[in-house]
Each structure stands twice: as structure tokens, then as C-alpha cells.
Structure 1
Amino acid sequence: MAKVFTTDNFETEVLKAEKPVLVDFWATWCGPCRRQAPVVEELAEAGYEVGKVDVDKEPSLAQQYKIMSIPTLLVFKEGKETARFVGLTSKTELEAALQ
């Protein structure tokens, strides 16, 4: 299951993670976000480090990473953003970015 990232755990869970991490910026009212969610969960179940940031609950994180539209999915490796996907993104594209 995908983790929930907040301002309290983002540094530890994402920026200091040893493996690449996929971060899904989303909101409960966002239709495309709900369609993206099963793909995100599949990646979590496959063993990838995956988590979600609710932009309504964590506006400072959304602002910090310049999230203009959702869903936006970011991949972090060694504390740095290495990939950004805006809109619905396939499992294949996300897996490739996490390699």
C-alpha cells in the first residue's frame, strides 16, 4: 500500500530514502487522480517505494515542488527529483523512471 507523505515525514521517507521513491501529488476531488490511484497502488504492491501527498492537506509541499496541476508524479533518487509526470501516466513509464 502506498504511504502517506506529509511535511513531517517527507525528508526521512523521500529525500533520505536509499531506493528511488515515487511521490503522487493528488486530491480527493480530482477525477484523474482517482484514475491514477490503481497504478500507484500496483507499483507499491510490486515493492517500489511509493507514497502520496494530498495537496489540500499539505499545501506547503505542493508549493515547494511547484505542483501546478494534479495528478503530478515525481520520482526522487538520492534526495533529488529525477522525473516529473503531469497527468495520467502509465505503469510502464513510472516503472522505467524508478529503475
Structure 2
Amino acid sequence: MTVTIKDFYADWCGPCKTQDPILEDLEEDYGDRVTFEKIDVDENEDVANEYQVRSIPTVVIEDDDGVVERFVGVTQRDQLEDALEEAGA
């Protein structure tokens, strides 16, 4: 089972800078079990559109079957951990 966190962000986005340390902490703890991807929406509009990202930060957690959970806005670590557990990380 592959679990991936896709972090949709932009350099100019203030709330994205708040989200970064939360995801960096998670990556330290889950990095061996979860793939972390940072996706700049300005440089990857096609991917952002594919995931229907309208606001950032948006964090999408996926497993082999597709999207397990999606969070819009700054999301706290405990919510992300719960979704990771649900995804089988």
C-alpha cells in the first residue's frame, strides 16, 4: 500500500508557510511509510486542476485506491495523522 501526501501550495501564500512546519514534522515521523509531494500550483496548474484545487493550502492524502482525505486551509497535525492512519500509513 502506497500512501502519499500531496501539499498544494504557492510561495506567495501566507497560510502555506504556516502549514509547512506541520508537514515537515510529519515527514520526519512518517517519511519511511509515506511519500510527501510539494506541488507549486503556479508551476503545476494541470495537476492542481486535476485535483480541483481552488484554495491553498490544500493537502490531499491518497492510497492506492485514490483520495482518502482532503484538507483545505491550514490543517493541524492530529487531523493529518488520523487521515494517515485511515489510509494505512
Shorter-chain-normalised TM-score: which range? Answer: 0.7 to 0.9
User: What amino acid sits opposite 1:35 in the alignment?
Assistant: T
CA distance in 1, matches of 2:50, 2:63: 17
Structure 1 match to 2:39: 53
Superposed CA RMSD: 1.0
User: What amino acid sits opposite 1:47 in the alignment?
Assistant: Y
**Residue 77 of structure 2 corresponds to residue 91 of structure 1:** yes
What is the TM-score when the length of structure 1 is the normalising length?
0.78
Name the SS for the 1:46 alignment partner.
Answer: helix
| Aligned-pair CA distance for 1:68 | 0.3
Name the SS for the 2:59 alignment partner.
Answer: strand
CA distance in 1, matches of 2:80, 2:2: 14
| Aligned-pair CA distance for 1:79 | 4.2
Where structure 2 has 5 or more consecutive residues not aligned to the other structure, the ranges are none
Dislocated runs of 4+, deviation >2 Å? none
CA distance in 1, matches of 2:59, 2:30: 17
Structure 2 match to 1:65: 51
CA distance in 1, matches of 2:22, 2:42: 21
What is the TM-score when the length of structure 2 is the normalising length?
0.87
Structure 1 match to 2:5: 22
* Cα deviation digits, residues 17-50 of structure 1 (max 9, x gap): x331111100000000000000011111112422
Where structure 1 has 5 or more consecutive residues not aligned to the other structure, the ranges are 1-17
CA distance in 2, matches of 1:79, 1:27: 27
Name the SS for the 2:12 alignment partner.
Answer: coil
